[in-house]
Structure 1
Amino acid sequence: MHPYHRKISPYMCNGMPIGHEVFEGSRVDKKTVKEVLKDLKEKFEIGQCIFVGDRGLVTKENLEEIERHGFDSIIALRKRRNVEVKEIVLDATPHVYCIEGKELWWREVRNAEGIRYIVCRNPEVAELQRQMREENIMAIMDELNKIKGGIEKLKGKASLKRVVSQVGEVLWHKHGRRLIGYKVDEKDGRLSYWIKEESIKIEEALDGVYILRTEEQGM
């Protein structure tokens, strides 16, 4: 196993390490979680545990497996692929944050099942991400304008397949697919494009944000 291609899973008790496991870096987290939970129960005979994991561990199967063993968890949620996250950040209720300093604001949200979501926001990172997104959109628009100009010079003789390929390459390289929509006329290959305002709204709500999910009520 290459030393840089591995995962290390430490076991901590009252702040002290009591053991660890080393897994291949390419190993599927679903399988890793099952083995770690089995070790905690059988090898260490641990009855109460808070399982801490990163975004790669957030699957329905993993959460159910942790619950089945009677453990709580603190897990970071994926921002863009998680329905819970979007519901929280887009909630119209005024967001009141506790301010711990320039780099950390946080607030807590609970759902009907008592699951706690700790919403953390870094205003400086949020501003940086906003600026980077705006610069990226401008760069994409410049590239699309060049493609559109080239199409117009061909006076209706542009290849539909070629135009789609060019636009797709720009959006792929600049990560613009979720931000920019486009349409190519099937008859003359003319290109039209637009900013996805709803997607921008979601991105703005996610800027500088990360969210932790936990069932633990005593922390």
Structure 2
Amino acid sequence: MAVTRDGIPVRCWCWPGNTADQKLIRQVKDDMRDWTLSKIVWVTGRGFSSERNRRYLRQGDHQYIIGEKLRSGSAEVKAALSRQGRYQDVAGNMRIKEVRISDTERFVICHNPEAAERDAHMREQLIAQLNELIDGTDSLSEFKRGELRGKIAGKPGRNRYLRTTPAGKLRIDTAKAEAEAEAEENLDGKYLLRCSDPHLSAEDIALGNKQLLEVERGWRDMKQIIDLRPVYHRLEERTLTSQNIPA
């Protein structure tokens, strides 16, 4: 979706579900070239953050704002999180801090205190749910415990806190839970943005990315709250795009 600085949609695209990211980036860039706009800033999620994608997005004097994976373990992410500095309060309940770790790109750490509380609560809830699942399982047969163990294995969030004793009993891995909580506390409510534009303020970078979050939230609301389910079209002429919607 292409939007103005104020978030007003001006164009949209759609593709088959198996379309590669690189292909759709190239098509959108080519389509927008005909508009002769003075400035385009691409805002993408973490799935587009490869060096190849970033290089392509900068062609034609375009700029980008891209989310980075905090748990990627990359040297840049580690350097950004280790930098000291004071957060600045911006719109809503968001706090931002720009960190300098590159001569060609800018990095902005965004922190949402409410989201941090939710992240911590989610970990506590996962452990509580797991504890409820395995409570009283010592009296079950080995087969029944193994069956339950298999079901929990299909839930990665809960499974990472589960351990099995040498006797086959199911227990909470408290040492792992405490160590993870301590490590995750520094990441709760945070996300990292990478930007190539040397002129945007740190606040504009954060707010530009927030537009993307609002679009994604809108899709989730339609699918969950409004309960609009996907409609699968298998014929090209039945797929609505910005090119064939009647005026």
TM over 0.5: yes
Measured against aligned partners, the alpha-carbon deviations of 1:132-162 in whole angstroms (never above 9, x if no partner) come to: 3212212212323433x135xx5xxx24xx6
Bigger shift: 119-128 or 50-59?
50-59
CA displacement at 1:11 relative to structure 2: 5.7
Q: Which has the higher contact order (CA 8 A, sep 6+)?
A: 2
CA displacement at 1:99 relative to structure 2: 2.3
Measured against aligned partners, the alpha-carbon deviations of 1:58-87 in whole angstroms (never above 9, x if no partner) come to: 333321321344422012234444636852
Q: Give 2:134's aligned residue.
A: 144
- The counterpart of 2:2, out of the listed 10, 13, 25, is 10
CA RMSD, 1 decimal: 3.4
SS of structure 1 residue aligned to 2:31: helix
1:62 is aligned to 2:41: no
Q: Give 1:215's aligned residue.
A: 196
Q: Give 1:75's aligned residue.
A: 66
How far apart in 2 are the matches of 1:32 and 1:129? 32
Q: Give 1:50's aligned residue.
A: 41
Measured against aligned partners, the alpha-carbon deviations of 1:76-133 in whole angstroms (never above 9, x if no partner) come to: 2344446368525752x44521123771211111223442121111112211321232
Q: Could you say if the C-alpha distance between residues 122 and 146 of structure 1 is closer, same or farther in structure 2, counting changes exceeding 3 Å?
A: same
Q: Give 1:189's aligned residue.
A: 168
Q: Give 1:87's aligned residue.
A: 78
Identity %: 21
Q: Could you say if the C-alpha distance between residues 65 and 192 of structure 1 is closer, same or farther in structure 2, counting changes exceeding 3 Å?
A: same
Question: Which consecutive residues of structure 2, in runs of 5 or more, have no partner in the other structure?
Answer: 201-247
Question: Which consecutive residues of structure 1, in runs of 5 or more, have no partner in the other structure?
Answer: 1-8
Q: Could you say if the C-alpha distance between residues 97 and 45 of structure 1 is closer, same or farther in structure 2, counting changes exceeding 3 Å?
A: same
Q: Could you say if the C-alpha distance between residues 201 and 18 of structure 1 is closer, same or farther in structure 2, counting changes exceeding 3 Å?
A: closer
TM-score norm. by structure 1 comes to 0.70
Q: Give 2:111's aligned residue.
A: 121
Q: Could you say if the C-alpha distance between residues 181 and 217 of structure 1 is closer, same or farther in structure 2, counting changes exceeding 3 Å?
A: farther
